Each structure stands twice: as structure tokens, then as C-alpha cells.
A and B are shown apart, each in its own frame.
Chain A
Amino acid sequence: MQASADYFDGETAGRREVTARLDVNALRLSTLEGAELARWPIDKIRRLPGAQAVAGELRLIPEFGSEARLVLRDPELIAAIENAATGLNVKPPAPRALQRKVLVWGGTAIASILAIVFVIAPLLANQIAQFIPPESEVALGESIANEIEAEGVFLMGLRPGACDAPEGLAALDKMVARLEPVADAHVPLSVKVLDSGTPNAFALPGGHIFLLSGLIKDAESPEEVAGVLAHEIGHVITRDPTRGALRTLGSAGVIGLLFGDFFGGFALTAMVDAAVNARYSREIEAQADATAIRILQAADVDPAPVGGFFRRLLQRFGDDDSYLASHPTHGSREEQFTQNANSDARPVLSEQEWAALRTICDE
């Protein structure tokens, strides 16, 4: 069986009209004058991979990898070849070498991103944090603080806006004024209360500290609040939040790369999230506790009631529970603060002031 066909030899782009003849085990191509051009073994012939199927047309290659093409339009010859060429519709072999490369490069890419986020960024952040001028720390913290105050943090149940009942603010200022001079931080402190049921507090770079109203409601005395505040001041002094922000900033670009975010929208969100959900190591938390006790002693505030705060946390949540999970165990913290009891201490706030602080979020 034979018919005319269009032949491209893969060497040049010239179209040649040829005679295609189907033998027992091969497709023979010859010029119209009869000179043989090529012999394609029938078991190796394949349909051109990826070609759009077009009725009345069959595009063939002699074998995978070949650059020669044959276009048949004769219905009988097409039917005969579709019948005889058993491997016609075999799919091209999987590109094994490429797949191996994908595995190697995929592993390398993921490893490098993990290394940047978990090793290089924290290391560099720790080194660089010491060289950041205090004014820059304050400015950085302010941009994050403004974001938190303006937008709130929905998933944390933080509503926008700081609490500002005037008498409560006065009580808060009195408490800060008692601790700030003896704390001797390298930046001025800015302490605000946010309305939230969660008993928590966090520090941002540059002395910006947020207490959540849930913490004040849970506390049984102003000394407990002062203790938590002193703990956050401890973080400010050792610049832990600044390290965290730098680390996030360094990682944000790399992570943003994966999600196609080059405009830094992710960076701010990530920094707010990192600041609010800061997880420091137990050593860092223990050091902040030690600093807190030093500050309380120097300010003539009794650290022992802070122990009561941790005892209630222990009773409510048990140890190693979600609240500040990376912190030292509540039990050991209770013990540390209680051991440093100071019976000669002066109260932080009067009864009225303490009542005012507890209602700072009420309008």
C-alpha cells in the first residue's frame, strides 16, 4: 500500500513530496522518481508527541528523539499504519535525568530557604541588633505599634485602639514612672493597654510595651501587673524584640519570594505577627525574669505577689500549656519570684488607683 506524503528530513526546512509505502515491517519513503530516502521500522514509528489532533491528518516521527517528520493525508494509508504500527501511541519516555535534577534542585532550594529562615537570619539578626541606634529601634517599634493600634489583631481577639480612661492612664503612668528610672533601659518606655480577654503582654522594638486588659483583670494586685511589666522591660533592655523584627525582616523577603510578594506587604504583617506571638527561648525568658526581679527590688516593689500570678496560671492551664509555652515552667517562675520576697516594699498603687487601672478599658 502506498500514497504520497509530505516529508521533512529534520536537516532542512524544505518540504518534499514523497511516496510512502507500507511494507511488512517498515514504512519506506522514496522520491517521486523512486529513489529510496528512508526506511522507518514499523515498531519504532510514533505519532508526533504533543501535536494537535486534526481530522484526516497523521503526523509521524521515525522514533523518539528524531527530528524528521512525515505528514500523511491518505485515509487508507493512515488506517493501515494505525493498524500496523503497534507503538504508535506510546508516550515519550519520562525524562529521568531531568526528574533527578528536579529532586536535587528542589532539595537545595528548600534547604537554602530553611537555612536562611532558621539559621542565617537569626544569627545575623543577633549580631546586627547590637549596632542599631536606639532612635532607629524606637522608630521601627513605632511603625509596628501604630499598625497594631490602628488595625488590631483579629485572630488574637485584639480590638483596634488603646484603652484610654483618664484615671486608668494616670495609674498606669504612675506604675511606669516607678519602674522606668531604676530599669535604666537604653530607650524611653511607651506602655499601653489593649482590650483583650487574653492574659498576656508583649514588647516591641524600642521600648513599646503592650499589656492586654485580660492580664490586668486576672491580676489580684498591682504588684502582679508591675512584675509582668518589669519582665517585658527586661526584653526591651536585652533588645529581644529588635532581634525578632530583624529576623522576620530578613526572612520575609525570602518567604515572600515563594508566594510572589515583592512589595513588602507580607513583611509588615509578618513583623506584627512575630511581635505579638514572640517566642523566645527559655534562657531568654529566664533572663527577662531575672531582670524583672532586679528592677522590682530596685524600685522597692515586692516581687512575691508575681509568684501568685504564676501559681494561678499553673492552676488554670497546667505547665507547658499554650500560654507562653516557651517560657520556663510556671512552677519554677513562681518559686523564683516568691523567694525574692521583700517585706519592706512600698505598694505600687493605692486602692483607688488599682481600681482605676482595672477599668482603663471601660468607656
Chain B
Amino acid sequence: MTIAETNPTAAPSDDGAGRGEFTGETGSLFNIMFKGLLLTILTLGIYRFWMKTHLRRYYWGSTRLDGEPLEYTGKGVELLLGFLIAIFFLAIYLAVVNFGLSFASMAYWQGYEPAAFLSLLTLLPLIPYAKYRAQRYLLSRTRWKGVRFGLDLEAWAYTWRSLLWSLGSIVTLGLLYPLADFKLRQFITKRMTFGDQRFELTGKAGGLYRGFIWVWALIAATVAVFVAVAVTATPPPANDPFATPEPSGPLIALGLFVYLAAIIGFIWYGSFRLKYILSRMEVASHGGAPAQIISEMQPGRMTMVVIGGLFLTMLITIAFAVGMALVFGVAGAGVAAAYPELLSVFDPSLNQGDPDPATLVVIFGAVIVFYLIIGVAAVIAAEIFVNRRYIDRAIGTLRIQNVAAMSSARQQAQTEEQAAEGFADALDVGAF
């Protein structure tokens, strides 16, 4: 556990390179998460909009570029409003689509499963749309040095491009993915603004393949090994109906090894990609040389940060689960000793009629509380030991070359984004 070694009051650097630094403290993050999750549970999810807002204020406000922090100006109530608007439209959309499809499905395919599947399929176009709008909201609520960021309103143009690129990636078994990813990111970046200055994503996607091809190969190898496991498994003796095919042990070990390598490769590629794209972003100034973003993060070290953080999160979660199991076990044994008739729920021979609903409610309630406590511990640990540490390092290795070029950015009118990221939230595809 490292506390960011930063000097928050550092004067702005004069060498023309605006350095990034992360000043967020673990304690305030813990408070935001603990209070936020507790209230979210108590309000059946409604508080999550305010928790998200507090979390963003923390991350934005702790991110200093050229000595100045980002400002997040979004409000929880804006997110709630966006969610309600999205719910209204999606409810009507689903009612119409679901009904049409249920009928078609039952009339022609004799089952409801095709309807559920098709209903999901018709929602697919909404996902890129929702993501674009969510990013637009985020940028419009972000300031730096008093000036707002923005994103042009071209969500539908982005949506059909995204759908075509996704289709291409699927058809080529993922080989097109880095190109699709880069082109879509370029589409968004070109439409991003800082005041009246425009962002640009320069260069080509080609370099992404140098990293991606390893991940792709590892995933392909994983699939290949498991196919081999299935094919080479010794068939069971014909006279024993309960025998299962006997797979080869060494092959399974190899498969698990390759699978683990693929997961690590996947995590590594996330940082490799982030560095690649960040380092090709520019902000055009008026006539002069552009400001250039440079990321000096080391994907290998970032991978260690993620894996170490996940490991720590797992340990904390397990420790919590064991502790809670002890607490609940002792409490449960105490209750059972005091009210032995409660045990009849588990023992049918003691139970002549149907289970007593009140007892069921108490038992279900205890189980739910048990899982909620462990879940809260896991989510907080992951936020502190994975997300925060990752962001800390990603920001700390960031520089803006020729940051002075951004000084001339002029404030533009605030963009209206009433639905905020409601669709993204309702569809569970949040941008951050």
C-alpha cells in the first residue's frame, strides 16, 4: 500500500512540459466508498448517482496537470434525471419490442427464448450511442484552468461506425479489433474540445498490433489446448453408464497455464493500448505548434500493479468472508439454541406443512446481509488497491509537451446534456 508521494503545492513547472501528478489520499477515497455503498444499499440503488459524483470529484480533483487540478462539475441529481429519462424511453421501447417479439417468437418459433434474445439484439445499437452520450456528458462537466471540455454531438454517426467495426471484429475473430478500436477512438478524439481548441489523435493503428498479436495468440492457444483436451479425452468404458470421459492431466495443466497467461496478457494490453493512444493525442492551438500528450507509463509495471491489487483485494475479501462466517455462525447457533423450532425449515421430517414464511424471510435476510458485507469489503478494496493505484501511476507518468499552447483556449458555451449518462447507466455500459 503506497500513499502517493506527491507534493501538492508544487509550483507549476517552467520547463514547458506540464507534468501530471495524483494527489488523492486513500483515507478520503475510503470514506467516499464506505458511505456511498452503505447509502446505495439503504436507498435500493438510488444513492449510486451521488456516490459516482463524489468519486469523480475525488479522482478529477486529485488529478493535477501542469500544477492545476481537473474540476468535475456534474451533479448527482443530473445523473438521476438522466436515468429516469432513459428508463421512460427504454420502458416504452421494450414494451413495444418485447410484445411484438414475444408474439412473433411464440407464433413462429414456438418458444419465448428467441424473443428474449432478439429483444437483447435490438438494444445493441443503443450501447455505443449511450457510451458516446455518456462521454459527452463527462467532458462537458470537466474543467481545467477554468475552461470546459466538450464533445460534438455526433452520437448516431458514432453508433453506426461502431456497429460496423464491431461486426468486422467479430467476423475476423478479433483480428480487426485494434484497428476498429483506434478508428473509433480517433472519431471521438477529433470531436473533443478544450474551450475552442480541438483534440486530435495522430498516427496509425499499426503499432497496436505489436502488442495485440501476443494476446490474440495466447487466447487462440487457450482455445486450441482446450479443444485438444476434449478431443484426446479417453472415452468412458461402455459398460459403466456413470463414467465420464477421462481427460489428459498434463494437457489440462498446460491449458490452465496458457489461460492464465492470456488473462495477464489481456491486462497488459490494456495499459499498452492506453499508453499508445494517450501518447498520440494532441490539442491543436491557434496556428502554433500543438500541445502533445505523452504517457511514460510502463505496461509491465502497470500489469504488476493490477495483479498485485487484485491479489490483495482477494486476500482482504477472503479474510472478511471468514470473519463474517464466524460472526454469523456464532449468532446463528445462538438463535437456533434459543428457538430450536426454526431448524424445522432445514429438516423436512420436523416440518409437516409448508415452511413458515417469517422464518424463511429471516434466514434469507441473514444470507443477504452476509453477502452484502463481503461484497462491500471487496468493492472498497478493489477501488483502493486496483483503481486508485492504477490511476495514480497513469497520471503520474503523464506529461503535456508544450502545454503553453493550451493557454489560449477560449471558453465555449456550455453544452446541454439533459439525459446525462442515463442510457449508459440503464444499460450498464458506463464510461467511467
A interface residues (Cβ-Cβ under 8 A, vs B): 6, 8-15, 48, 50-52, 54-57, 67-69, 71, 73, 95, 98-99, 101-102, 105-106, 108-109, 112-113, 116, 120-121, 124, 128, 131-133, 135-137, 139-140, 143, 155-157, 197-198, 245-246, 249-250, 252-254, 257-258, 260, 262-264, 267-268, 271
Does B77 sit at the interface, judged by CB under 8 A?
A: yes
Contact B91 A109 (CB under 8 A): yes
Closest 9 CB pairs of A and B: A264-B116, A52-B61, A139-B110, A8-B146, A157-B354, A14-B407, A253-B98, A105-B84, A13-B145
Total interface residues in chain B, CB < 8 Å? 69
Q: A13-B406, A102-B80, A263-B116 are in contact. Are A52 and B24 (CB under 8 A)?
A: yes
- The residue on A at minimum CB distance from B411 is A11
Q: Is B402 an interface residue (CB 8 A)?
A: no
CA of A197 to CA of B351, assembled, Å:
11
B410 touches A12 (CB 8 A): yes
Out of A13, A55, A271, name the residue touching B408 (CB < 8 Å): A13
Per-position contact with A for B82-117: 1 when CB-CB < 8 Å, else 0?
001101101110110111001100111011110111
Binding site for A on B (CB under 8 A): 8-9, 12, 23-24, 28, 57-58, 61-62, 68-69, 71-73, 75, 77-78, 80-81, 84-85, 87-88, 90-92, 94-95, 97-99, 102-103, 106-108, 110-113, 115-117, 119-120, 123, 143-147, 194-195, 352-355, 360, 406-411, 418, 426-428
Q: What is the CA–CA distance of A51 and B103 in the complex, to the nearest angstrom?
A: 54
Closest B residue to A11 by beta carbon equals B411
A55 and B8 contact, Cβ closer than 8 Å, known pairs A105-B84, A124-B99: yes
Q: Which residues from chain A contact B110 at a C-beta distance below 8 Å?
A: 135-136, 139-140
A12, B407: Cβ atoms closer than 8 Å: yes
| A114 nearest in chain B by CB position | B91
Collect the chain B residues with CB atoms within 8 Å of residue A56's CB. 8-9
Contact A51 B146 (CB under 8 A): no
Are B106 and A250 in contact (CB-based, < 8 A)?
A: no
Q: Are B103 and A73 in contact (CB under 8 A)?
A: no
**With A11-B410, A50-B72, A254-B94 given, is the CB distance from A156 to B354 under 8 Å?**
yes
A10 and B9 contact, Cβ closer than 8 Å, known pairs A69-B146, A263-B116? no
A-B contact list, 7 entries, CB within 8 Å: A11-B410, A13-B146, A67-B146, A67-B411, A108-B88, A143-B112, A264-B113
**Is there an interface contact between A139 and B111, defined as CB atoms closer than 8 Å?**
yes
Provide the residues of chain B in CB contact with A69, threshold 8 Å.
Answer: 145-146
Who on chain B is nearest to A12 by CB? B410
When the two chains form their complex, are residues A112 and B98 in contact, meaning their CB atoms are under 8 A apart? no
For A68, list chain B residues within 8 Å (CB): 146
**Nearest-Cβ distance from residue B415 to partner chain A, whole angstroms:** 15
Extra 12 A-B pairs, beta carbons < 8 Å, given A13-B408, A249-B115, A254-B95: A8-B146, A13-B406, A13-B409, A14-B407, A51-B69, A52-B23, A55-B9, A101-B81, A131-B107, A246-B106, A257-B94, A264-B119
The one of B12, B77, B87 in contact with A102, judged by C-beta atoms closer than 8 angstroms, is B77
Contacts of A250 in B (CB 8 A): 95, 98-99, 102
Report the Cα distance A12→B404, complex, angstroms: 12
Chain B residues with Cβ below 8 Å from A132 are 103, 106-107
**With A13-B406, A262-B120 as given contacts, are A136 and B106 in contact (CB-CB < 8 Å)?**
yes
- With A98-B77, A109-B84 already in contact, the answer to whether A253 and B145 are too (CB < 8 A) is no
Query: Chain A nearest CB: distance from B338 CB in Å?
Result: 26
Q: Assess whether A73 is in contact with B9, with CB atoms less than 8 Å apart.
A: yes
Pick the contact of B411 from A12, A113, A197, A258 — CB < 8 Å? A12
Among A124, A139, A250, the most chain B Cβ lie within 10 Å of the Cβ of A250
Question: Roughly how many angstroms separate A8 CA and B111 CA in the complex, as a whole number?
Answer: 64
C-alpha spacing A67/B414, complex, angstroms: 11
Per the bound structure, the CA–CA distance linking A128 and B102 in Å amounts to: 10
Contact A253 B95 (CB under 8 A): yes
Task: Give the docked Cα–Cα distance between A50 and B80 (Å).
Answer: 19
**A247, chain B: closest CB distance, angstroms:** 10
Contacting residues, chain A, for B95 (C-beta < 8 A): 116, 120-121, 250, 253-254
Query: Do the beta carbons of B428 and A102 come within 8 Å of each other?
Result: no
- Which B residues are CB-close (under 8 A) to A55? 8-9
Nearest chain A CB to B298 CB, angstrom units: 27
Please tell me if the beta carbons of A54 and B23 are within 8 angstroms of each other in the complex: yes
Residues of B within 8 Å of A12, CB to CB, are 147, 195, 407-411
Q: Say which residue of A71, A121, A143, A262 sits within 8 Å of B99 (CB atoms).
A: A121
Question: With A and B bound together, what is the CA distance between A132 and B69 in angstroms?
Answer: 62
Residues of B within 8 A of A268 (CB): 112
Which B residues are in CB contact (< 8 Å) with A14? 145, 407-408
With a cutoff of 8 Å between Cβ atoms, the chain A residues found around residue B406 in the complex are 13
Closest to B102 in A: A249
Contact A13 B120 (CB under 8 A): no
Given A67-B411, A249-B98, A262-B120, CB of A197 within 8 Å of CB of B353: yes
Residues of A close to B84: CB separation below 8 A:
102, 105-106, 108-109
In the complex, which residues of chain B have a beta carbon less than 8 angstroms from the beta carbon of A51? Answer: 61, 69, 71
Contacts of B120 in A (CB 8 A): 262-264
Contact A15 B103 (CB under 8 A): no
Contact of A136 among B78, B107, B428 (CB under 8 A): B107
Q: Are B409 and A15 closer than 8 Å at their CB atoms?
A: no
Decide: A257 and B87 in contact? CB cutoff 8 A: yes
**Cross-chain contact B111 with A157 (CB below 8 angstroms):** no
Residue contact B116 to A246, C-beta cutoff 8 Å: no
Q: Which residue of A lies closest to B404 (CB)?
A: A14
User: With A and B bound together, what is the CA distance between A155 and B98 in angstroms?
Assistant: 28
Least Cβ–Cβ distance between A170 and chain B, in angstroms: 29
How far apart are the CA atoms of A306 and B374 in the complex, in Å? 54
User: Bound complex: CA of A102 vs CA of B49, how far in Å?
Assistant: 13
Are the C-beta atoms of A116 and B91 separated by less than 8 Å? yes
Q: Are A13 and B147 in contact (CB under 8 A)?
A: yes
Are A254 and B98 interface neighbours, CB within 8 A? Answer: yes
Within the complex, the shortest CB–CB distance from B92 to chain A, in Å, comes to 6
With both chains docked as a complex, state the minimum distance between the C-beta of B361 and any C-beta of chain A, in angstroms. Answer: 11
How far apart sit A322 and B120, CA to CA, in the bound complex (Å)?
38
Tell me how far the C-beta of A260 lies from the nearest C-beta in chain B, rounded to whole angstroms: 5
Which residue of B has the minimal Cβ distance to A7?
A: B146
Contact between B407 and A15 (Cβ–Cβ < 8 Å)?
A: yes
What residues on B are CB-neighbors of A157 within 8 Å? Answer: 353-355
Rounded to whole angstroms, the CA-CA distance of A141 and B12 in the bound complex is 71
CB distance from B116 to the nearest CB of A (A): 3
Pairwise interchain contact B9-A57, C-beta atoms closer than 8 A: yes
